[in-house]
Structure 1
Amino acid sequence: MANTAQAKKRARQAEAHRARNAGQRTELRTQIKKVRTAVASKDKSAAQQAFREAASVIDRLVGKGLVHKNAAARYKSGLNQQLRTLA
């Protein structure tokens, strides 16, 4: 366990960051699932709206460093590909 005041503070910060990051990763997965379920139900307008929301979340997490930019591009590309199958 941490002994110095500095190490104790860093441990507190790390726990706060871990909790925040976990919540944001959960939100990312939820948004991706919303797009996939809308595509599976063949609801084009709902799928497009869900894709816009998911892309926004993905881009925001890239800016925060939670998702690598290439991984984000891969997520968006895959979701967009699924969306195009409805057209």
Structure 2
Amino acid sequence: MANTSSAKKAVRKIARRTAVNRSRRSQLRTQVRKVEEAIASGDAAVAAAVLQSVAPVVMRAAQNGVIHKNTASRKVSRLTARVKALSA
């Protein structure tokens, strides 16, 4: 358990930050799931439109430190490849 006042404050800050990150990570997963569902439906136009709205959300999550930037780039790249394969 934290003894000093600064350590107690750090515990409070970490708890708040964890809650924010958990919310952002959940939102990120929901957005990625939307793209995957659009791909599964088989409609390339809808999947491309959804991907275009989801890609900035994924990159913003990386910018905010929720996920690593390489992870975000990999997710967007793989989703883009899947949508492109769907339209071909």
> TM-score, with normalisation over the residues of structure 1?
0.92
Moved more, 64-73 or 5-14: 64-73
Task: String of CA shifts for 1:11-52, please: whole Å, max 9, x gaps.
Answer: 001000001001101111111110010011012232122212
Structure 1: 5+ residue stretches without partners: none
> TM-score, with normalisation over the residues of structure 2?
0.91
Take 2:50 and 2:26, find their aligned partners in 1: how far apart are those partners? 16
Superposed counterparts of 1:50-65, under 5 Å: 50-65=50-65
1:33 maps to: 33
Whether 1:75 and 2:64 are equivalent positions in the alignment is: no
Moved more, 14-23 or 66-75: 66-75
CA RMSD of aligned residues (A): 1.1
Structure 2: 5+ residue stretches without partners: none
Equivalent pairs: percent with the same residue?
39
Structure 1 runs of 4+ with >6 Å offset: none
